[in-house]
Structure 1
Amino acid sequence: MSQMDSNSKPTNNSRELGTYHPLLSESIDRFLVEFRNGATDFSNFTSIFSRLLHNSPDPPLEVVWFYSALTFHADKSTVQDPSQRVCATKGLFQLLSSCSCSCNAVTKAAALAPVVYELCCLLSDEKCSKSEAESLLEGVISYISLCNTQEAEEDYRLSSHFVDLLGVWMVDRIGESNGVRIDYFRAFFPIISEEVRGSIVLGCGVGYLAGVVMCEAFLLRLCLMFEKGLSKMEVEKNAHHCAVQMITGVRSLYLLDVLLKMLLEPVLPVNYLLGPENEVFLREVLYDAVITVEYSFFNPGGRILLSNKQLTNLALMWLCVADSAIQFVRENSNQTKLFSYLTAFSKSCLPSQLLKWVSNQAGMEEAGIRNLSTPASLIKWLLIVQDQGLEIFESDICKIYAKAVVCKPTVEYNIPAVNLAAPGLLKSTPINGVRKREEGSKVEGQKPFKCVKFASHDNSMIEKLFPSVNDGGLSSGSEVDNPVSDEDMQDIGGMEDMEQEILIDTSS
């Protein structure tokens, strides 16, 4: 599975943890045993790890977490009133930000994962003050925004102790496993999607974890807007402003990566907090935020210290989300939003950047690429180029989505789930003087077909680019090497005003 930081080279932080591995491993095991035996005084551990923190100018995240977890559990043991848990979490926020103050920007943000986890628990507990929890959440988001105004720094990968430390943070809630496998990742990151959670399970960098923390805080903040008793119009306006402000404020490609992955899932992971109706409403707000707004930091020319490959993967994910958004508003008959999304797509620099990248990689002329005016048409064209041997869609979620665009019927074309006939059997009924294409010759013994009319929107290249769509596969013919000719373009240029007839195989 491709991840934004899968090729990150370890920095000194990662190598430095090597000297701490035995000590950290033994300390985690001993702490879990002592805690489950009822211990509340962990000063023997804290004194050792306090010295490690003070002696390291840029301590590893794992050391910061273990020391902070020890202190937090000791403090929580004195809190009897559930309403005081917000104060304990606020103390944890201050402790983590203090312990990571000498770390780089992404480590500072990633270090706050336990705070966001506690906030998720607090906001799900009716006994806790929502207003105090919201105030703390605002402080966390402001701190993250300040961290990300710093210059981007090199990322490093988390160690194998990461999952053990999740168990340390949740020891008072989960207890002993008794031989049952515990999904620490699902419990600790309750409002991220399975795809994002899977990226963490497989091993990720601190930068990616920072993106997860940012996105969780971001989603929690948006969810709270639904509890203020405002009208739907007010919630939409405020949530959209908040979303754009957050994305612009943190200027993080890691946040954008996580958010786009979530928007490609069937349901947002905050569904359990909002309910189905509000989840759909929030999804539309997020679509607006990531599609209709052009973010300067998400630009191949921006000063972001990430490789072009990583930016390309993000652009491909944005392309899939744009198509998902268009299908979403089309299914809900929202013509205003549909026009808005199509306009935003046509004005975005990302499609042209993708075309330029593919053209350079494949050695083709950009002039031969025409009429890819919607996300769906561009996705299909990219898949055909990929069938020629150029690897384009690397992440699993993009591969699956892109193939679904081709293999499944869409509202956009309004045709049944059947195989398209060969190119020679496509014929057009002329409207407004558009020239009719000659019908393909019939062959003896040919399978029976029937005509199905459909309105064409971005299907102007279907005959040249999509000669065969068969049960999940695309033809790997030579259409990409032989772009659509001027004569063909004259034929198909007016298809937006035409009805087309597709000959459908009815023999099966």
Structure 2
Amino acid sequence: MALIEPQNLKFFTNNEHKSAINQSIQSLLDSLQNPSPKLSEFTSKFLELMQAKPDPHLETIWVLSGLTFHTNNSQKDDILDQVLAVKDLFHSITTFSASSSPSVCIALIAPVIYELYAVVIDLKRKEVDKKQGKKARREIRAFLDVILGFFNVCCEGSDSDEVFGLIGPLNDLVSIWVHSDGSENGSKQFFPLLSDEVIHWVSEESGENLGVLAGAVIVEAFLLKLCLMFSDGSSKQELRNELRTWAVCSITGFHNFYVFDTLVKMLLEPNLPVMSLLSPEDESLLRKVLYDVVILPDFSFLHLDKVGHIPNDYIKNNILARLMVTHEAIELLRKSKDFTEAICYTNAFAGSYLPTLITKLVTSELGANGNASQPKGSSPTAFLKWMLDLEDQGLNLSDGFISKHRARLVRYGSSMDLDSQSYKLNAGKTEDDLEFFIDNKGKDEDEKIDDDSTNDAFVAAARSMQSGTKESGKKRKETRVGKKKDGVKFQRYNLVDHLGSKSGKNSGLLEKDDSRSESEVEDPDSDEDVE
């Protein structure tokens, strides 16, 4: 693409630049309604707008890449040529955004995921030569690994990202690629691996916080990778272990709050948006894997001393969403008579820091004059029932989150007690089946563990979580010794008192609470708490 000579570039103030971008986008959208739009003049216009600033706005790169991609690749039918075209798109976007912030770099890959997904669907539906199809699948998977690696690198600097949003509506940018009328229908086409609720949330929040859009883009690539792994031909249990291990290691590598938050929100939906790629049975298996991933690990990047850059409202809603997801996962396991894994989830929740966070959140919502009883039990449903009772008494918890989901809670009727006798009868089985994943992102230098040791621990933990598998006392002892050698240990994490702030803005300094928390992470293989 020919660059514009510096002497020919127009100087813009910040406000003039944003206004020129919005006007140019609107003119382009109007032009796209014509049967034969003249796109060449828009290409030069957006190239000028992109070069006008040392750190180009996301909108200019997004539109410019869309114009050039569709101009150069509209007639390509060969599947390998399509893959190559998407690779070229990725290369041009990453080149244009080299000086941009991590969130911009990640969000700009949304069109790449959209086009790569289209190639995967074409490969699935078209009659492709067997040899060519095999090569295309190999190319797609390798390319997807490159994209995920790029995200991983970007996420290393995302914690310090300044919170800022798009200049105009996300739906307008989507329309450049799907040629829609700017409605949410276009966004549903453009984000095929996101649920309707998540798409609506991303569209609403991206005007204020680009990190939300970046997290959703990572989740799409993450889910596409998981779906492609189903073609490996492994047995169901082997596949579940493989998917779970890869997913946990990937999320640990991203250490990104918005990625985790988006996954939790997706699990609140009745179905994952992967039915175009997976059978109903495979979708069910993927859901189980994602339940394992969001419920069992204790990701250090989610602890309050690591999320000071995240608005408080996001943190509060994430805590309640995790509570709801854990509750629903346990109910599904109970319904299928899989009590061993249900106990695993229940104990993982009770042994985590979530119960204390929820208690602090509710207490802060009640205020200084509030007086609330404590939950009758340590299970997710005990906490949900407690909060439902408080909302019946007039408490509006985090903008009515519990009330919003009241209907789905009522579905479970009389089963609103997860500390039931069926669990107590099986409680003795949990020690052999329950295993926590622990990551070491964000630890102090003297506590860091090398990545290979951590990944080995993830693999060992994933394999140990098979339902019905029992270890002998000797094997458990060997496992404990192995963990000590790897340096992976269970920690008690401090909580902070600032969570109760009702402001959606970032909180102030995070103060550590050195007192022993009500709920601590315990080593299932140890009889003592780790201090």
TM-score, normalised with respect to structure 2: 0.69
**1:17 is matched with which residue?**
18
**1:140 is matched with which residue?**
147
- Of 350, 356, 361 in structure 1, the residue corresponding to residue 360 of structure 2 is 356
Matches of 1:392 and 1:16 in 2, distance apart?
41
CA contact (8 A) 1:412 1:457 kept: no
Offset of 1:273 from its aligned partner? 1.4
Matches of 1:14 and 1:149 in 2, distance apart?
31
Distance verdict in 2 for CA 1:400–1:245, change over 3 Å: same
Matches of 1:246 and 1:137 in 2, distance apart?
13
CA contact (8 A) 1:320 1:402 kept: no
- Of 316, 319, 337 in structure 1, the residue corresponding to residue 320 of structure 2 is 316
Matches of 1:16 and 1:207 in 2, distance apart?
22
The residue type paired with residue 354 of structure 2 is L
**2:46 is matched with which residue?**
49
CA contact (8 A) 1:62 1:162 kept: no
- Please say if 1:337 is aligned against 2:341: yes
Offset of 1:200 from its aligned partner? 3.5
Alpha-carbon displacement from aligned partner over 1:385-440 (angstroms, at most 9, x marks no partner): 233333214376x54334532464154659xxxxxxxxxxxxxxxxxxxxxxxxxx
- Please say if 1:188 is aligned against 2:185: no
Runs of 4+ in structure 1 over 4 Å off? 12-16, 364-368, 410-414, 454-458
Matches of 1:117 and 1:319 in 2, distance apart?
31
Structure 2 matches for 1:267-346, cutoff 5 A? 267-346=271-350
Alpha-carbon displacement from aligned partner over 1:264-311 (angstroms, at most 9, x marks no partner): 111111123111111111111100010000111111122440133321
**1:485 is matched with which residue?**
none
**2:178 is matched with which residue?**
170
The residue type paired with residue 63 of structure 1 is T
Q: Does the residue aligned with 1:124 lie in a helix, a strand or coil?
A: helix
Q: CA RMSD in A?
A: 2.9
Q: Does the residue aligned with 1:297 lie in a helix, a strand or coil?
A: helix
CA contact (8 A) 1:109 1:147 kept: yes
Range 353-362 or range 387-396, more displaced:
387-396
**1:265 is matched with which residue?**
269
Offset of 1:230 from its aligned partner? 1.0
- Of 139, 161, 164 in structure 2, the residue corresponding to residue 156 of structure 1 is 164
CA contact (8 A) 1:59 1:100 kept: yes
Offset of 1:155 from its aligned partner? 2.6
CA contact (8 A) 2:29 2:175 kept: no
Higher helix share: 2
Matches of 1:181 and 1:104 in 2, distance apart?
28
**2:498 is matched with which residue?**
none
**1:441 is matched with which residue?**
none
Q: Does the residue aligned with 1:227 lie in a helix, a strand or coil?
A: helix
Offset of 1:77 from its aligned partner? 3.5
Structure 2 matches for 1:90-489, cutoff 5 A? 90-126=87-123, 127=128, 129-150=136-157, 151-171=159-179, 183-202=185-204, 204=206, 205-362=209-366, 363=368, 369-394=374-399, 399-406=403-410, 408-409=412-413, 411=415
Matches of 2:338 and 2:276 in 1, distance apart?
26
Distance verdict in 2 for CA 1:251–1:304, change over 3 Å: farther
CA contact (8 A) 2:170 2:203 kept: no
The residue type paired with residue 101 of structure 2 is N
Matches of 1:253 and 1:413 in 2, distance apart?
30
**1:62 is matched with which residue?**
59
Q: Does the residue aligned with 2:161 lie in a helix, a strand or coil?
A: coil
The residue type paired with residue 143 of structure 1 is F
Q: Does the residue aligned with 1:245 lie in a helix, a strand or coil?
A: helix
Distance verdict in 2 for CA 1:182–1:240, change over 3 Å: closer
Distance verdict in 2 for CA 1:385–1:457, change over 3 Å: farther
Matches of 1:402 and 1:152 in 2, distance apart?
37
Distance verdict in 2 for CA 1:13–1:191, change over 3 Å: farther
The residue type paired with residue 297 of structure 1 is F
Higher strand share: 1
Matches of 2:315 and 2:14 in 1, distance apart?
25
CA contact (8 A) 1:257 1:314 kept: yes
Offset of 1:159 from its aligned partner? 3.9
Distance verdict in 2 for CA 1:410–1:299, change over 3 Å: farther
Q: Does the residue aligned with 2:88 lie in a helix, a strand or coil?
A: helix
Distance verdict in 2 for CA 1:367–1:203, change over 3 Å: closer
Matches of 2:411 and 2:334 in 1, distance apart?
19
Offset of 1:53 from its aligned partner? 1.6
Matches of 1:372 and 1:307 in 2, distance apart?
30
Offset of 1:32 from its aligned partner? 5.4
Alpha-carbon displacement from aligned partner over 1:319-363 (angstroms, at most 9, x marks no partner): 000101101111121122111101100111012111022223323
Q: Does the residue aligned with 1:68 lie in a helix, a strand or coil?
A: helix
The residue type paired with residue 191 of structure 2 is F
CA contact (8 A) 2:107 2:217 kept: yes
The residue type paired with residue 29 of structure 1 is D
Offset of 1:194 from its aligned partner? 1.5
User: Quick check: which has more Rg, 1 or 2?
Assistant: 1
TM-score, normalised with respect to structure 1: 0.72
Aligned residues: 397
Mark the runs of 5 or more structure 1 residues left unpaired by the alignment.
Answer: 1-11, 415-453, 459-508
**1:76 is matched with which residue?**
73
Matches of 2:407 and 2:298 in 1, distance apart?
27
CA contact (8 A) 1:148 1:251 kept: yes
Matches of 1:222 and 1:14 in 2, distance apart?
42
**1:37 is matched with which residue?**
36
Range 152-161 or range 244-253, more displaced:
152-161
